[in-house]
Each structure stands twice: as C-alpha cells, then as structure tokens.
Structure 1
Amino acid sequence: MEIRRLFVYGSLRQGEENEMARLLHARSRYLGAGTIRARLYAISWYAGAVASADAGDVVRGDLFELDAGSAGEVMAALDAYEGSDFRLSPVDVEMPGETPLRAHAYLYAASAEGLPWIRHGDWPRSGSAAGEAGNGRGATGLAHPAEPG
C-alpha cells in the first residue's frame, strides 16, 4: 500500500525542528492544519493518539502529501522512527471548509491506560514536555483518564 497523505500531531508537525520532521517537510507538500477523531495522551516527551468513537474527541495536527518519487523512502524512515508502539492507520482528516480527506497517521498501539489525557488535543510545541510551559497551556490541559470533566 502506497501512503501519499500523512497526518501528524506531534514531533513531525509543521514548525518542528528535528531530523525526521525536516525529512518529511522537505519531501512533501503541506496541505494544512486539521483534526482527527482521537484522544491524545502524554507518553513521555512525545504524545500518542488513540482512535475514539466520541465526536468530541479531537487531535489537532498537520496534513502532508508525500512526493510520489520519495514516498517509500520517507515512510520507511518514519516507520523506524515511530517504532513498534505506533501503527500506521487510516484516518479521516477534517479541515476547515473542506470535505474530510482520507490519510494515514501513526496511532498509539500500546496501552494508554494510566497515561495523562491531553483534553485540548494539541501537543505542546517547541520540544516542551507535557505539563511544562511551552504552548501557554502547561499542565492545565492534561487530565488523568479517571478524573471527571
């Protein structure tokens, strides 16, 4: 299966400065910001999205269209980067004023039990860890899944 559209929500987003983000951005076209129906969890210095049936659960991210000539090479590098805890899965990406687009995203495949849920669905930017200042939200956007509200 050839992957052409990739939705990213963490360290690969537009504006991130790391080796894999630079590879993706150099070999793809940015289509814009969007959301998928999922819950976002703080795992460590990175996040993991888990698919959700609840329409209120959204994860914010960016949609890219991979260059046809290098899509296989880019996806092989990203597969190695994401590792075995993430599974490439089909997703529908909602974008303002657009018909939902079918894409793929690396969703968290390990257990999210006990991990902090990032209710606002937007991973802290600029390398900030969950709960630290960095996107203006800090820990206020985190909630343990067992906590109400």
Structure 2
Amino acid sequence: MKSDYLFVYGTLLKGFNSYMSKFLDKNSEFVGEGYFNGKLFEVSWYPGAVLSKIASERVYGHIFKIHDHIKTFKILDDYEGVGEASTEYPNEYRRELIETFLNDGTILRTWVYLYNNPTDHLRLIASGDYLKES
C-alpha cells in the first residue's frame, strides 16, 4: 500500500533545529499536528515510538505530505536506520503504514518510523510529546 504522508514525532518535527528536519521541510508540505496510539521512549538524544492498542496512550507529532516519495524516503530511511544497508544503526527503526489522527479528527494512513528494539530499559516519555520533553 502506498501513502505520501509521513508522521514524525522526534528530530524531524517542524521547527526542530536539525539538518534532517530542514530537509523534510524542503521536500514536503506540512499538513498539521496530530497523534497515533503508541508510547514514546527516550532512546538517546532522540526518541523512539512503538504502537499501542490503548486509546489513551498517544504519541504526538506532525504530519507531512511528501513531494518525491522515492527520493525522500530513501534519504529518510537511511537517516532512521531502516534496513541492513543503514550505515550507523542498522534496523533501529522500521517504516510502517499506520492510522494517524489530525487534531481536527481527520484520519490519515501515514508512514511512521517505529522503534524496532526492546524498550524495557528505556525511559517512557509519559506526555507522548517529544517537544515538551526536549
């Protein structure tokens, strides 16, 4: 299944001062703020999220519409450590298509980078909002 939407919750957030946040801003259109059902953890200087079936557990972030799906996701996949070919942290994240919610209630199928390792040793970001915690 294909989607041109991406949900971000960490260093790719709009306004976050990073090279990759600026790259995403140049290669997409900001759609709005929203959330998905999940838990957010502090991995290192960056967060990682996992899915949850509990409606009250939410990860908050921004949704973007990607302009050039193939080019942009190739660069983002490498940055996020998706796949064996990733240079620094292979398979640290996986890109998955999930149901997300804009703050106005609109439901979108978006790609999201989910943390792909155990979380039991990581600190939970209880608010689900990385910008509030950083």
TM range (shorter): 0.7 to 0.9
Aligned residue runs from structure 1 range 1-149, under 5 A: 2-67=2-67, 70-83=68-81, 84-124=91-131, 135=132
Is the contact made by 1:2 and 1:72 (CA closer than 8 Å) also made in structure 2? no
Gaps in structure 2 of 5+ consecutive residues: 82-90
Q: CA deviation at 1:98?
A: 3.2
Higher relative strand content: 2
Identity %: 33
TM-score under structure 2 length normalisation: 0.87
Q: What TM-score comes out, normalization by structure 1 length? A: 0.79
Asked whether the equivalents of residues 35 and 103 of structure 2 are also in contact (C-alpha less than 8 Å), the reply is no
Distance apart, 1:24 and its partner CA: 0.8
Larger radius of gyration, structure 1 or 2?
1
How far apart are residue 93 of structure 1 and its match?
1.3
| RMSD, aligned CA | 1.5
Q: After the TM superposition, which of the residue ranges 113-122 and 96-105 deviates more from structure 2? A: 96-105
Aligned residue pair count: 125
- Which amino acid letter does the alignment assign opposite residue 59 of structure 1? V
Q: What displacement does 1:21 show?
A: 1.1
Whole-angstrom CA distance in 1 between matches of 2:3 and 2:100: 15
